[in-house]
A and B are shown apart, each in its own frame.
Chain A
């Protein structure tokens, strides 16, 4: 069974940085992309970006709203993906989710329960 767990969310001041973690199990982590998403209070789902597997060059893609501020990385030895968030703004307040494997044709895609990031002074 695929299991995904996000961690690292907390209250942070505007302008500061935060790193979220996404730990996954139940599949060959290194072989698949990992995706990140968020849902702001009262809003819909927003795709943040993804990182491909090492064999696909660990390429990353980002939404325009976070490009240049957020960075996705992975550590296959630990089956963990990271979302580094810099220059946080109040509008980044949201529940952050990851999904793995982020490859729908695998039939295995699962989401974690999410982790809350609150950006406020």
Chain B
């Protein structure tokens, strides 16, 4: 099965900073990559699918890029409400494995 890794595992940044989170698949997965935001006590929220398709209602400061095995989630200007753990997930062919998560703090 394809394994997903993320880096860093945690990061602290300031309001207004540009933040990037990396996700790597152990094999190429074309663009079958989703990004989730998970805040404590709430259900996960799908931010991006197919590597770069922003979901309706998600702020435009979030963007995704990459294809093959390497992907990036970018927050262009960090806001206080962005504190959460971010996960990448392989979709397409099963299993739909998640990465281990990146905890983002202000």
Mask, A60-87, CB within 8 Å of B = 1, is 0101100000000000000000000000
Chain B residues whose C-beta falls within 8 Å of the C-beta of A104 in the assembled complex: 34, 46, 49-50, 53, 91
In contact, B43 and A114 (Cβ under 8 angstroms): yes
Task: Say how far A109's CB is from chain B's closest CB, in angstroms.
Answer: 5
Main secondary structure of the interface of B (DSSP, over half): loop
Q: Does A107 contact B (CB under 8 A)?
A: yes
In contact, B96 and A47 (Cβ under 8 angstroms): yes
Residue total for B at the interface (Cβ-Cβ under 8 A): 26
Residue total for A at the interface (Cβ-Cβ under 8 A): 20
Selected from B44, B53, B91, B94, the residue in CB contact (under 8 A) with A45 is B44
Selected from B43, B56, B91, B95, the residue in CB contact (under 8 A) with A112 is B43
C-alpha spacing A49/B97, complex, angstroms: 10
Given the contacts A45-B36, A47-B96, A47-B97, A97 and B44 also touching, CB distance less than 8 Å: yes
Chain A residues whose C-beta falls within 8 Å of the C-beta of B98 in the assembled complex: 44-47
